[in-house]
Amino acid sequence: MSTTEPTSDGHLLGAADIRALAEAFGVKPTKQRGQNFVIDGNTVRRIVRAAEVTEQDAVVEVGPGLGSLTLALLEVARHVTAVEIDPVLARHLPDTVKGRMPGRADNFDLVLSDAMDVTELPGPEPTALVANLPYNVAVPVLLHMLETFPSIERTLVMVQSEVADRLAAKPGNKVYGVPSVKANWYADVKRAGAIGRNVFWPAPNVDSGLVSLIRRDPPATTATRREVFAVVDAAFAQRRKTLRAALAGWAGSPAAAEEALRGAGIDHTLRGEMLTVEQFAAIAEHKPKTPEQ
């Protein structure tokens, strides 16, 4: 039997299917690309349910691997576009889709690319992003996709549990930081569940978590996203320092930083971990002008 044909368990990929496909394609999961393939059909269906994907959705998936989540998405979504950096995996995935879900093959597109380089996608505009993101690039990929494709209304990503905590953290939480603030620029963010290690092959040495992001308008501000993010980066580059000290380099001096904070109505003795994205935007608006400006 071909490794792309359904088994008696249906068209989703189980542990034996994943291993058979990997062997047939000569694929050996690499830590460098964070390749841990989901081997449990119940898990990928759970992810699709948590993402609230419907037949109206055009979904973009980053890092489809051997196609576990891809097939579950195609059960429900109107269209799925997968972005894969690995040329071997990318070459074989369309055949896996055709072999296991022939009736849905026309609703699938594949892009061979690093997700960080993707600026356009084939097919309909994506309305949802659903992905098992490699742990080492999860945050930059997520932020890039949200910035590049404003049509994405809902996002559900599986990431390392620690990363999930950081993304969903609120001001005052000890893990609240740059990912938390920048994700909140685009969306309302919350944890959406935990995923055990035994649903992956190979099993990772860390736990995973689901994060839900629902698109909302960015804060109302005259500052640009880049200007706001520059404040965020500066505040957390020296997160143990007060904002007056941490923002001195950004503003030009400690006194200039205090002036910006005063204009934004923020206590200069606070630390960045106490501020909302709206407060960072207010600081950006009040950056003092330098003489050459």
Residues annotated within a binding site: 36, 38, 63, 84, 114, 132
Treating both helix axes as pointing N-terminal to C-terminal, what angle do 138-148 and 161-168 enclose, rounded to 10 degrees?
50
Question: What distance in Å separates the CA atoms of residue 242 and residue 246, rounded to the nearest whole number?
Answer: 6
Nearest Cα residue to 241 out of 249, 173, 162 = 249
Tokens of 271: 């630390």
For tokens 């950081």, the residue is 166
CA distances to 126, 176, 225, 244, 280 from 228, rounded to whole Å, are: 26, 17, 5, 16, 6
Nearest one of 118, 250, 281, 135 to 200, comparing CA atoms: 135
| Residue numbers belonging to the annotated binding site for S-adenosyl-L-methionine | 36, 38, 63, 84, 114, 132
- Contact predicate 242/270, CB 8 Å: yes
Tokens 């400690």 label which residue? 254
For strand 187-195 and strand 208-215, is the pairing parallel, antiparallel, or unpaired?
antiparallel
